[in-house]
Amino acid sequence: APPCLRLPAASLPCTLCGADMAHISMGDIDLLHPPRELEHRRHKLKRLVQSPNSFFMDVKCPGCFSITTVFSHAQTVVLCGSCSTVLCQPTGGKARLTEGCSFRKKVE
């Protein structure tokens, strides 16, 4: 199979029956409406509709409960505006949230 149509690891559940996706053959996949798991695991530029992996999120400070908007792939340490607590630290990709911080994805 071409690399863009390879099935993901068998540990992903099927959206149709809930079992592992190892039982799905290439003839069973609708190329116009691929399963969400297959589409999500593809590279961001090889998806049917290109979409970024990054997002903005509201992070709640565990100390003062104020909410700060943070980019998911932040490249600097993000501090709380009120109490200067570290909310997240950069890694090579996605930023790592500090333990105790809760977040939710921002919607447009």
Phi, psi of 3 (to 5 degrees): -60, -30
Lookup result for tokens 């559940």: 13
Give the global pTM: 0.68
pLDDT, one tens digit per residue, over 8-28 is: 444 556 666 666 666 666 677
DSSP letter at 106 equals P
pLDDT, one tens digit per residue, over 28-72 is: 788 888 888 888 889 999 999 999 999 999 999 998 999 999 999
Q: CATH homologous superfamily for 53-105?
A: Ribosomal protein S27 (2.20.25.100)
- Using an 8 Å Cβ cutoff, are 37 and 11 in contact? no
Lookup result for tokens 């921002």: 106
Where do the domains of the chain lie? Answer: 53-105
